[in-house]
Amino acid sequence: MRGVLRAELLKLRKRSAPWVLLTVLVLTQALFGYGSLYAVLQMESEELGYRDEQLRAHLMPSTFVGNALGALAGTGGALALILGALAMGSEFRWGTLKTIVTQGPSRLVLGGGKLIALAVALSAFTMISFLVAFGCSMVIAALEGMPVVLPSAGTVVAGLGAGWLLMSVWGSLGFLLATALRGTGLAVGLGLVYQLVIESLLVTAVPWPVRTGEAFRAALIGTNAGALGRHFGVLAGHGFLDAPAVQAAAVLGAYLTVFVLLAVLLLRRCDVL
Amino acid sequence: MESKNQTITIETRALTKRFGETVAVAGLDLEVRRGEVYGLLGPNGAGKTTTLRMLLGLVRPTAGTATVLGRPPGDGEGLAQLGALVEEPAFYPYLSGRDNLRVLARYCGVSATRVDEALCTVELSDRGGSKLKSYSLGMRQRLGVAAALLKNPQLLILDEPTRGLDPKGMAEMRTLIRAVGRGARTVLLCSHLLGEVEQVCDRVGVIDKGRMVRQAPVEELRAGGRLVVEAEPLEAAERVCREFPGVSDVEVVGGKLELSLDGDRAGDLNAALQEAGVRVRELRRLQRSLESVFLELTEEGG
Ligand SMILES: Nc1ncnc2c1ncn2[C@@H]1O[C@H](COP(=O)(O)OP(=O)(O)OP(=O)(O)O)[C@@H](O)[C@H]1O
Ligand SMILES: [Mg+2]
């Protein structure tokens, strides 16, 4: 297992795709999570003569965990899905699966090693996203001349765990789709359509009977990711779910387990051509 | 039983693989002995690659059994002692040749020092640092063999390793295969080139439409080849040949004699001709095309 993990990490590290995805995450977070909101804040005070104190508070170091989780639940999840699909799909596309399967590790170990490497990469994404949020909020606090109040260490650690969990759920979905569809393109496409379109249509566009609607809200990935984030101060969105953090985390954990098990099972059974 | 397991490296019994309607391999019985270089010979679509895939555990047989190095196909312990190149070599295009091998070395748990040794064996050391994308077909093929050699395996499985190589590259590859096949290492080589198999292999299995048509040592197949004799005077030569033991089917074709000769006795025939005062201008074995071997073998099979 250790050898497989080291091989997978070497492959991820040397590949440009993960770095491109990470760059996109950092840039969107800095630009939209902080930059553009700070610009709005400036505009309000210059043109309208007042300041949205809630918005300003959202940009301060005390709430950087919630801000980072907001970015991870949105863009981050999409990027994680792409990374997960690439980690497996490319092996089919390049035909390298046969090369590594004949090296000797069992399919179980191979799938496990790949998924752990993906989880390691996604934890790095999560930590970097937190660092970016922290850095941006410190800069804004300095610009605003506000005192620096930091969240408690417990909040930061719990937040990192929440961020990693929701990134991993999307990442493992990408991995599963790539294994099932034996490639990258369709897996990424369908995964993103599900994540960005279908989930939100399910909770907002279908006139379900109230109780069915509630059940969907309680069961989808995006709504649970949102519910988890809200406990760290992420602003509530459309069609939100109001669930305890533990419940949301448990639902996400269940998704992660199912995706991982299905992916490994498929990998074990598939013919390698 | 014990000793048999030690001498048989690969054994299949009624190995069968169906893809929907297509029967790729139909009840194949294959036996590869320890230490030999075995050639699996067959035309396109005969089922060679599919057989290798089953031996490596890449695809599941529909029916039948196989044992590789005394283990079921795809078993970790078996795979740890074999190296394989199936169809075209597949590597990570964004990594250098050396990094590709480093990755594979980690998968199979061999020391990273093997990487440079393997690169050296296939003479790729000076290009090891270039990205795989920049490799020519022949370089990829050689890297594929290097990857198969990484584990210093007891058994080497190679699927058309000279595919896409120029004549010089082909000759080098054959020399390499002969070299790595020396000693206790077993090599299973697939090809549709009779010449290649003749030059490299000890024993050959001919398969067609997924069935084993004939399994024999190379000399035996070769011995079936006709001899061409160009000599003066022709009548005297023909008489000597007809009287020579083991000669049959003598024909005169375009002023030359064509005949079949049992065993490896062309030298003796030459001596007999000289003794009878016949001047021998040429005595050579007709290179039998794969086609003719096939026609013969399938006719034999009924
Ligand atoms: N994945 C597959 N799906 C359907 N049919 C297949 C598949 N793989 C192989 N076949 C069929 O099985 C038969 C044997 O194919 P195989 O690749 O084993 O032949 P081969 O002897 O390696 O030929 P070649 O010399 O062209 O490489 C062919 O008829 C082929 O079409
Ligand atoms: Mg083939």
**pLDDT (tens digit, 9 = 90+) per residue, B18-39?**
999 999 999 999 999 999 999 9
pLDDT in tens, A133-185: 999 999 999 998 889 999 999 999 999 999 999 999 999 999 999 999 999 99
Instruction: In whole angstroms, give the CA distance from residue B23 to residue B35.
Output: 31
In eight-state DSSP terms, residue B96 is: B
Residues B54 and A70 sit within 8 Å (Cβ to Cβ): no
Nearest to B60 among A16, A98, A271 (CB): A271
Instruction: In whole angstroms, give the CA distance from residue B247 to residue B265.
Output: 10
Please give all residues whose CB falls under 5 A of ion ligand 2, grouped by chain where several chains appear.
B 49
Nearest to B90 among A11, A15, A99 (CB): A99
**Phi-psi domain of B20 (left: phi exceeds 0; alpha: psi -120 through 50; beta: other):** left
CB of B99 less than 8 A from some CB of A: yes
In this complex, how many residue pairs, one in chain A and one in chain B, have their CB atoms less than 8 Å apart?
Answer: 78
Mean pLDDT across the stretch B139-150? 93
List the single range of A40-44, A50-54, B87-91, B152-156 with lowest mean pLDDT: A50-54
Instruction: In whole angstroms, give the CA distance from residue B173 to residue B155.
Output: 17
pLDDT in tens, B45-89: 899 999 999 999 999 999 999 999 999 998 989 999 999 999 989
CB of A270 less than 8 A from some CB of B: no
CB of A106 less than 8 A from some CB of B: yes
Asked if residue B302 has pLDDT above 50, the reply is no
CB atoms under 10 Å from CB of B257, counted, come to 23
Alpha helices in B234-289 (DSSP H): 234-243, 266-275
Can you give the pTM of this predicted structure? 0.87
Residues B33 and B195 sit within 8 Å (Cβ to Cβ): no
Which residues in chain B touch residue A106, judged by CB atoms under 8 angstroms apart? 76
Residue A114 tokens read as 């790949």
| φ, ψ for residue A51, nearest 5 deg | -125, 135
Which residues in chain B touch residue A182, judged by CB atoms under 8 angstroms apart? none
Nearest to A4 among B91, B107, B147 (CB): B107
Looking from the CA of residue B20, the nearest atom of ligand 1 is: 4
Nearest-CA distance from A4 to chain B in Å? 5
CB of B68 less than 8 A from some CB of A: no
Test B94 with A4 for CB contact under 8 angstroms.
Answer: no
Which residues in chain B touch residue A99, judged by CB atoms under 8 angstroms apart? 89-91, 104, 147
pLDDT at A47: 75
What are the C-alpha distances in Å from A85 to residues A170, A184, A269? 10, 6, 19
CB of B88 less than 8 A from some CB of A: yes
Residues B150 and B114 sit within 8 Å (Cβ to Cβ): yes
List the single range of A188-197, A215-224, B221-230 with lowest mean pLDDT: B221-230
Instruction: In whole angstroms, give the CA distance from residue B40 to residue A232.
Output: 65
Nearest to B109 among A3, A95, A271 (CB): A3
Lookup result for tokens 């700070």: A38
Indicate which ligand has the atom closest to the C-alpha of B24. Answer: 1
Q: Contacts for B166-171 with beta carbons within 8 Å, 24 or more apart?
A: B166/B138, B169/B138, B169/B141, B170/B196
Q: Which of the two residues, B173 and A86, has the higher pLDDT score? A: A86
| Structural domain boundaries enclosing A261 | 2-269
Instruction: In whole angstroms, give the CA distance from residue A266 to residue B14.
Output: 28
ipTM of the modeled complex: 0.90
In eight-state DSSP terms, residue A236 is: P
pLDDT in tens, B257-290: 998 887 778 889 999 999 999 999 998 877 666 5
Asked if residue A26 has pLDDT above 90, the reply is yes
| b/e sequence A47-58, b meaning 16+ C-beta within 10 Å | eeeeeeeeebeb
pLDDT at B1: 43
DSSP B3-71: HHHHHEEEEEEEEEEEETTEEEEEEEEEEEETT-EEEEE--TTSSHHHHHHHHTTSS--SEEEEEETTB
pLDDT at A239: 62
- pLDDT level of residue B184 (50, 70, 90 thresholds): confident
Total domain count, chain A: 1
pLDDT in tens, B191-222: 888 778 888 888 989 898 999 988 888 777 76
Pocket of ligand 1 (CB under 6 A): A 273; B 19, 22, 24, 42, 44-50, 192
pLDDT at A41: 85
Out of B15, B23, B49, B62, mutate this one to test ligand 1's pocket (max ligand atoms within 8 Å of CB): namely B49
Instruction: In whole angstroms, give the CA distance from residue A30 to residue A133.
Output: 7
Instruction: In whole angstroms, give the CA distance from residue A134 to residue A152.
Output: 13
Among the listed residues B40, B58, B48, the one whose alpha carbon sits nearest the alpha carbon of residue B209: B48
In eight-state DSSP terms, residue A267 is: H
